[in-house]
Amino acid sequence: MNKDADIKNSIGPATVSKISIVLSKCTLDMVYPAFMIATTATAMGIEVNMFFTFWGMNVISKKKVNNLKLSSVGNPALPLPNILGMLPGMTSMVTRMIKNRIKKVKLPTIVELIKNAKDNGVKLYACSTTMDVMGVSKEDLIPEVDEIVGAATFLQLSEGGQIIFI
């Protein structure tokens, strides 16, 4: 009996036709998984919507998209005591460390992930309420953003699918 074939057959075809991802954070360890899920889902024929709110807006900000970081404080997966994460320069150090690892394994940059997502049909939505709260204008956003919408509109766009909050 082929165990791998049994597992594959038990999974069957994708039963989800739509995924909506809410990205409320802008650290590299949150942004990469969001875009990996999005691009993998579109490759499987699943419709994907992404909604950027609060700090997730930095991902679609012209000024901030190339400067996303990895937090050194409150990150239990980092191989250093949490107290050291508070030292000046630690965020820059761990960010440089993870960016070097990302480059070494030839993962795309965030900008490349965004382009790939758009090329594969992922829809990007900016939260209108967050834009108002944070003083963000449409001109501040990267051109890949499809539309500025409120939560109610995003929920309508997400109807019938799964919502993933990151």
pLDDT tens for each residue of the chain, 166 residues long: 444 444 334 445 567 899 999 999 988 888 999 999 999 999 999 999 999 999 999 999 999 998 888 776 666 666 666 666 666 776 777 767 777 777 888 989 999 999 999 999 999 999 999 999 999 999 999 999 999 999 999 999 999 999 999 9
Q: Is 32 within 8 Å of 53 (Cβ atoms)?
A: no
Write the CB contacts of 120 (distance below 8 Å, at least 6 apart in sequence): 39, 42, 43
Contacts of 15 (CB under 8 A, 6+ apart): none
At residue 7, the pLDDT reads: 37
Give the distance from CA 24 to its chain's centroid.
9
What count of Cα atoms within 13 Å lies in the side-chain half-sphere of residue 83? 0
Alpha-carbon distance values, 13 to 1, 17, 34 (Å): 21, 11, 22
- Three-point CA angle 45, 115, 48, nearest 5°: 30
Domains identified in the chain and CATH numbers? 19-30+46-165 (3.40.1260.10)
Euclidean distance between CA atoms 72 and 35, whole angstroms: 22
For residue 68, what pLDDT is reported?
83
Of 95, 156, 98, 101, residue with least CA distance to 125? 156
E strands in 18-144: 18-23, 47-52, 123-127
pLDDT at 81: 67
Distance between CA atoms of residues 50 and 158, nearest Å: 10
pTM, 2 dp? 0.82
